[in-house]
């Protein structure tokens, strides 16, 4: 057991993958900060910020079936590298336009759509690539370590991007170009997967194969849908500004700390899981983590103490990371290599939809019932869904080992 983490750290393909992941995540977080500030400076319209998020999400819905097929039919290393290179070109266009003072609202919307399209093709390719570059027994650790990279970027990169923006938007766009290009180089030099590529033509039947596969595997369907409804009901992050200002009586600095707290909890938990992965009773642990997520949501909704709310959000982020790592690990291990791209694309759509719709649901419920009841009811809803899913998917709830499930295929 003590030698496995060393094996992961010294596994050169994974190290390259890890750095590529943190570079692309950092570049995207920096771009998000710069695009938001740049757009708001141009128009002064808060609604435009909402449109940017929706425009970036739209390609994931529009191209869902195609993104998975591309990841299964073509070399995933090349797909990821091309997508990262395209994102570098988008950042470069923003840098040149900003430096020449020719950037416009419409240009930002177009580039945001292209950025979302590149990311929608990159995500299933990189997710499906990971199982082919690490041994099966190290895969849960690899997922946790990759998520640690993602959470580190989520915490550090926005602040760094905001600091650089003080010198001008070009100082954010320029480094983003470099980060994307380095990531593309690392990705393109990863070892090729050993199994042959799927050369089948892109028919409607093949495009829908990922959806059919998920429906045919109760454990996979249960895990993906559990995440969808838990985040949809339990997401309270959209209401953090209201809690910070009106309930916890803090200022912008407090809001920043509240927003960072779940990511800090997730980062700490991902580092722990990279060293001590969940190897037994994975179903029970996953459902328990989702339950803790629901309880933490209720506690946050009822809290009037800033520091208690901060601690609860750290616990919430840690619980969410446990669930996410277990789900991502066994879904990938349960899925044959030739299907991983399409399954990852569907899973990515569910994750994106749960986050986007969860923010809408929280806002609408708060508008109708009030802020505190909206968050508390969301946490209660998460607990109800957890109980229902234990009954509806007993195989998932009683799942013991991830690798053993895969070996039975």
Residue 131 CA from chain centroid, whole number: 17
Give the integer Cα–Cα distance in Å for 183 and 188: 9
CB 97 within 8 A of CB 103: yes
Q: Is the pTM of this model over 0.75?
A: no
pLDDT tens digit sequence for 158-184: 777 777 877 888 888 999 999 999 999
**Higher-confidence position of 375 and 159:** 375
Second CATH level (architecture) for the domain 9-193: Up-down Bundle (1.20)
Q: Average pLDDT, whole number, for the chain?
A: 80
Domain residue spans in the chain?
A: 9-193, 201-402
CB atoms within 10 A of CB 215: 10
Neighbouring C-alpha atoms within 13 Å toward the C-beta of 350: 24
Fold annotation for 201-402: Growth Hormone; Chain: A; (1.20.1250)
pLDDT tens digit sequence for 264-309: 898 888 888 877 888 788 889 999 999 999 999 999 999 999 999 9
Q: What is the CA radius of gyration of the chain?
A: 21
Tell me the average pLDDT across 39-45: 77
Rounded to 5°, the CA angle 139-143-145 comes to 110
Please check whether the two domains, 9-193 and 201-402, share a CATH topology.
yes
pLDDT tens digit sequence for 319-346: 988 888 888 777 777 777 667 777 777 7
Give the integer Cα–Cα distance in Å for 292 and 290: 5
Q: Is the pLDDT of residue 5 over 50?
A: no
**153-157: which pairs have CB atoms within 8 A and are 24 or more residues apart?**
153/22, 153/25, 153/26, 153/28, 153/29, 154/25, 154/29, 154/263, 155/260, 155/263, 155/264, 155/267, 156/26, 157/25, 157/26, 157/27, 157/29, 157/30, 157/33
Q: Is the pLDDT of residue 81 over 90?
A: yes
pLDDT tens digit sequence for 201-230: 656 666 677 777 777 778 778 887 887 777
Give the integer Cα–Cα distance in Å for 239 and 259: 10
Q: What is the pLDDT of residue 1?
A: 39
Give the integer Cα–Cα distance in Å for 284 and 399: 7
pLDDT tens digit sequence for 103-153: 888 999 999 999 989 998 998 888 878 877 877 777 778 888 887 888 788
Give the integer Cα–Cα distance in Å for 353 and 103: 30
**Higher-confidence position of 19 and 357:** 19
Q: What is the pLDDT of residue 88?
A: 96
Cα dihedral 264, 270, 271, 274, rounded to 10, equals 180
């Amino acid at each position: 057991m003590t030698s496995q983490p060393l094996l992961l750290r010294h596994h050169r393909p994974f190290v390259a993958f890890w750095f590529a992941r943190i570079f692309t995540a950092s570049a995207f977080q920096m771009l998000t900060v710069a695009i938001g500030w740049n757009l708001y400076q141009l128009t002064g319209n808060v609604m435009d910020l909402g449109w940017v998020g929706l425009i970036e999400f739209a390609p994931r819905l529009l191209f869902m079936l195609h993104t998975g097929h591309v990841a299964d039919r073509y070399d995933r290393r090349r797909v990821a590298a091309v997508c990262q290179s395209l994102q570098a070109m988008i950042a470069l266009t923003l840098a040149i336009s900003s430096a020449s003072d020719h950037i416009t609202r419409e240009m930002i919307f177009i580039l945001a759509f292209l950025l979302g399209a590149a990311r929608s093709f990159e995500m299933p390719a990189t997710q499906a690539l990971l199982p082919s570059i690490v041994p099966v027994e190290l895969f849960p650790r690899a997922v946790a370590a990759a998520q640690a990279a993602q959470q580190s970027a989520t915490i550090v990169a926005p602040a760094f991007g905001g600091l650089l923006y003080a010198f001008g938007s070009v100082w954010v766009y320029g480094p983003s170009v470099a980060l994307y290009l380095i990531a593309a180089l690392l990705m393109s030099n990863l070892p090729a997967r050993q199994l042959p590529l799927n050369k089948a033509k892109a028919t409607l039947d093949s495009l829908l194969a990922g959806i059919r596969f998920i429906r045919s595997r109760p454990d996979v369907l249960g895990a993906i849908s559990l995440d969808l409804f838990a985040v949809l009901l339990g997401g309270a992050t959209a209401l953090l500004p209201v809690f910070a200002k009106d309930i916890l009586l803090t200022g912008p600095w407090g809001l920043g700390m509240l927003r960072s707290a779940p990511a800090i909890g997730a980062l700490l938990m991902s580092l722990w899981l990279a060293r001590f992965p969940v190897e037994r009773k994975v179903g029970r642990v996953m459902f328990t983590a989702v339950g803790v997520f629901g309880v933490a949501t209720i506690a946050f909704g009822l809290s009037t103490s800033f520091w208690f709310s901060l601690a609860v959000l750290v616990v919430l982020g840690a619980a969410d990371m446990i669930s996410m790592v277990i789900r991502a690990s066994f879904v990938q291990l349960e899925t044959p290599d030739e299907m991983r791209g399409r399954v990852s694309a569907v899973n990515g759509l569910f994750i994106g939809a749960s986050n986007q719709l969860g923010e809408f649901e929280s806002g609408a419920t708060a508008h109708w019932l009030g802020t505190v009841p909206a968050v508390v009811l969301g946490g209660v809803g998460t607990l109800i869904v957890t109980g229902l899913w234990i009954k509806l998917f007993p195989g998932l709830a009683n799942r013991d080992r991830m690798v053993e499930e895969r070996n039975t295929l």
